[in-house]
Amino acid sequence: MGFAELLLLAVGLSMDAFAVSICKGLAMKRTTLKAELTCGVWFGGFQALMPLIGFFLGTLFAGAIEAVDHWVACLLLVIIGINMLKEAFGQDEECESCGSADLSVKTMFVMAVATSIDALAVGISLAMAGDVNILQAVVLIGICTCGLSMAGVKIGSIFGSRFEKKAQLAGGVILILLGIKILLEHLELLP
């Protein structure tokens, strides 16, 4: 997987954290750099940690399912993408559940874990896709999520929830397309 694909993956994975950060920004009367950094570090840190954990878990059983590993990677990414699309077209429950200005350790831990569960599955997918520089992937995912989360807090405080659904839609489509690309490359239908 090349740099451009990893960057797309990072952006796709960042969209849940971006949407939650927008909600956080909506709940704040005025954002501060501290609030933006708090969201960015929590979300970016967990979005980087989870695929690393998933990658190592995936390598443990990748040999056992080598014949179907690309199918599994594709399926996981497509399922995650479809879930993001469903969330984008669903009710605004996400903003209701995270829409307080609370940035306490307990709140941020729960939200960071909740928004990064998908990244765990993506890490497993990366282990099965093969030819992935996991360190580069983890760094890109963490930096991208941190930056987008910080921007999300600011955007939420300024523009409101206008971008939340679009972010989830874009993330879902990106993950689905990457899953299909992995499968097509494995089937040698793409160079």
The reported pLDDT for the residue numbered 95 is: 57
Domain ranges of the chain: 3-25+32-186
Q: How far apart are CA 104 and CA 141, in angstroms?
A: 23
The reported pLDDT for the residue numbered 146 is: 97
Q: Has residue 93 got a pLDDT over 60?
A: no
* Residue-wise burial string across 9-47, b where 16 or more C-beta atoms lie within 10 A, e elsewhere: bbbbbbbbbbbbbbbbbbebeebeeebbbbbbbbbbebb
Does this model's pTM top 0.85? no
**Mean pLDDT (whole number) for 147-176:** 80
The reported pLDDT for the residue numbered 49 is: 96
The reported pLDDT for the residue numbered 139 is: 96
**Mean pLDDT (whole number) for 116-143:** 89
The reported pLDDT for the residue numbered 169 is: 78
The reported pLDDT for the residue numbered 75 is: 82
Instruction: Convert the pLDDT of each residue in 9-21 to its tens digit.
Output: 899 889 888 888 8
Instruction: Convert the pLDDT of each residue in 96-125 to its tens digit.
Output: 555 567 788 988 998 888 888 888 888 988
Q: Has residue 184 got a pLDDT over 90?
A: no
Q: Has residue 166 got a pLDDT over 90?
A: no
What confidence tier does 147 reach under pLDDT thresholds 50, 70, 90? very high
Higher-confidence residue of 57 and 177: namely 57
What confidence tier does 90 reach under pLDDT thresholds 50, 70, 90? confident
Between the alpha carbon of residue 159 and those of residues 23, 73, 83, 85, 96, the distances in Å are: 11, 36, 25, 22, 17
The reported pLDDT for the residue numbered 163 is: 66
Residue type, 7: L
The reported pLDDT for the residue numbered 51 is: 94
